[in-house]
Amino acid sequence: MPVEVKSEEEFLKVLERARECRVKLGYRRKETEEGTRRIRVLKVKARTPKYLYTLVFEDIDKGIEFIKTIKDKCQNLVIFDEEVRNKLA
């Protein structure tokens, strides 16, 4: 069952119980005056035995900086997108 986490501090608490961390680029619909449009987001996911927790960053660069801080805390870090992998290297 997925759960969306709203803050980085809350995600760090979940990270202590996580077996795996996943990072991927995705899209989210955002309402504007012109209508609905899709924006690119960075999703950081933590798999625990019970739930899959997700933290979404609309600012991709801020998300990459967050990934750099949690890199050592994740038991198994899986990055699905080549673009993100290149920015972390």
Instruction: Convert the pLDDT of each residue in 27-83 to its tens digit.
Output: 999 898 888 999 999 999 999 999 999 999 999 999 999 999 999 888 899 999 999
**pLDDT range class, residue 17, cuts 50, 70, 90:** very high
What does the radius of gyration of the chain's CA atoms come to, in whole angstroms? 13
Per CATH, which fold does 2-88 belong to?
3.30.720
CB atoms < 10 A from the CB of 45, how many?
Answer: 20
